[in-house]
Amino acid sequence: MADAAQRLEDIRARIATAAVRAGRDPSDIVLLAVSKTIPAEAIAELFALGQPSFAESRQQEADAKLPSVPSGIDWHFIGHLQRNKVRKVLESFGTLHGIDSLRLAQHVSSVAGELGLRPDLYLEVNLAAEPSKHGFDPDVLRAAIVELAQLPNIQIRGLMGIPPEEKSPEAARRWFADLRKLRDDLALQSGAALAGLSMGMSGDFQIAIEEGSTIVRIGSALFGKRSYQES
């Protein structure tokens, strides 16, 4: 117990320090606790300590775990979303971070309409055009943003990105800055609010906050090292 409380307090303090250093209000940054591979008890423990928002990246794992966690958690889905999993995911998750095509967003909007839901979406961008990663190509996103913003049953909150593997957190800074610039361009171009930037993980969240992140997705720094490598 003491351990989890300590880690949570430590992460919150580091978020606040980075925010203040950048002249930002720490309360503008949401801490998302990435609980993939983490058992339900540890999620319940952190929730009881006052951490409201959690994220999972695999629908099957979430399916097995969610029935045993407390209700009232603000759940975010951060994995790659397959079309045939959309209905299932929308039943449990209010925010989806891995939307990477217009076609997928249209499908989410249509299923959300059937379910009477209006989920929050972050559009994932493949910043460095890495073949191993999902995400919109920035130019494809520019061409699609007006249509995306008009889909009726979703609320586009902003962009999400994972920088390529770099030698240091500092080297990731330019990718975070690129995502912020793209967000600003798209907001101008489309008139969509697009306030959100889902960027920064355990190793680089302070840099991401300095570059404008509004949601940091933190797993290992909160829960300890994961016992298996997720794909």
How near is the Cβ of 57 to ligand PLP at its closest, in Å? Answer: 5
Q: Does 192 bind ligand PLP (CB under 6 A)?
A: no
Among 8, 29, 30, 36, contact with ligand PLP (rule: CB under 6 A): 36
Q: Does 34 bind ligand PLP (CB under 6 A)?
A: yes
Q: Does 209 bind ligand PLP (CB under 6 A)?
A: no
Output 190 or 200, the one with its CB closest to ligand PLP.
200
Among 15, 29, 51, 57, contact with ligand PLP (rule: CB under 6 A): 57
Q: What CA–CA distance (Å, rounded) separates 55 from 95?
A: 9
Whether the CB-CB separation of 198 and 97 falls below 8 Å is answered with yes
Which one, of 23, 71, 193, lies nearest residue 121 by Cα? 193
Sorted by sequence, the CB contacts under 8 Å of residue 207 that are 6+ apart come out as 18, 169, 170, 172, 173, 176, 200
DSSP label of 136: B
Which one, of 89, 90, 50, lies nearest residue 73 by Cα? 50
Output 113 or 134, the one with its CB closest to ligand PLP.
134
**Which residue is at the shortest CB distance from ligand PLP?**
219
Contact flags string 129-168 toward ligand PLP, x per CB under 6 A? ---------------------------------x------
Specify the 3-state DSSP secondary structure of 155.
strand
- Cα separations in angstroms, 43 against 65, 78, 201, 228: 10, 16, 18, 18
Output 163 or 212, the one with its CB closest to ligand PLP.
163
Number of residues that bind ligand PLP (CB under 6 A): 13
Q: Does 201 bind ligand PLP (CB under 6 A)?
A: yes
The two structure tokens encoding residue 21: 């250093």
Among 78, 86, 123, 145, contact with ligand PLP (rule: CB under 6 A): 78
To the nearest 5 percent, what fractions of the chain are helix, strand and coil? Answer: 50, 15, 35
How near is the Cβ of 62 to ligand PLP at its closest, in Å? Answer: 13
Output 153 or 202, the one with its CB closest to ligand PLP.
202
Q: What CA–CA distance (Å, rounded) separates 230 from 145?
A: 30
Output 36 or 65, the one with its CB closest to ligand PLP.
36
How near is the Cβ of 192 to ligand PLP at its closest, in Å? Answer: 23
Q: What CA–CA distance (Å, rounded) separates 29 from 32?
A: 9
Binding site for ligand PLP (CB under 6 A): 34, 36, 57, 78, 162, 201-203, 217-221
